[in-house]
C-alpha cells in the first residue's frame, strides 16, 4: 500500500494498516468525533478491527479507503 501515499511540503498521508486499529479506536471514541460518526456510541476493539480489515480489503480490491 505504499503506492497510496500523499506528500506535500508539510504533510504526509499514509493509509491505515491493521496495526493502527487501537489508535483508530481511540480516535473514533473521542467525544466530538463519536458524536458525528457513531451517533455518540463508543466503538469497541472488535469493531475497530473489523473496520480496519474492511478498509484493507477496499484498498486491495477497489483502490480506496482510509
List pLDDT tens digits, range 9-46: 999 988 888 999 999 999 999 999 999 999 999 999 99
pLDDT attached to residue 1 = 53
pTM: 0.77
Residue 2 covered by a domain = no
Residue 3 covered by a domain = no
Give the residue numbers spanning the domain of 20: 16-62
Residue 53 covered by a domain = yes
Residue 47 covered by a domain = yes
Residue 49 covered by a domain = yes
Q: Give the pLDDT band of residue 63 (cuts 50, 70, 90).
A: confident
Residue 4 covered by a domain = no
DSSP per-residue string spanning 2-60: GGG-EE-SS-EE----GGGHHHHHHHHTSHHHHHHHSTTPPP-HHHHHHHHHHHHHHHH
Residue 11 covered by a domain = no
Given a cut of 80, whether residue 65 has pLDDT beyond it is no
How many folded domains does the chain comprise?
Answer: 1
Residue 40 covered by a domain = yes
Amino acid at each position: 500500500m505504499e503506492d497510496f501515499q500523499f506528500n506535500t511540503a508539510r504533510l504526509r498521508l499514509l493509509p491505515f494498516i491493521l496495526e493502527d486499529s487501537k489508535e483508530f479506536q481511540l480516535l473514533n471514541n473521542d467525544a466530538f468525533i463519536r458524536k458525528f460518526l457513531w451517533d455518540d456510541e463508543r466503538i469497541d476493539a472488535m469493531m475497530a478491527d473489523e473496520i480496519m480489515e474492511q478498509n484493507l480489503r477496499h484498498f486491495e480490491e477497489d483502490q480506496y479507503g482510509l
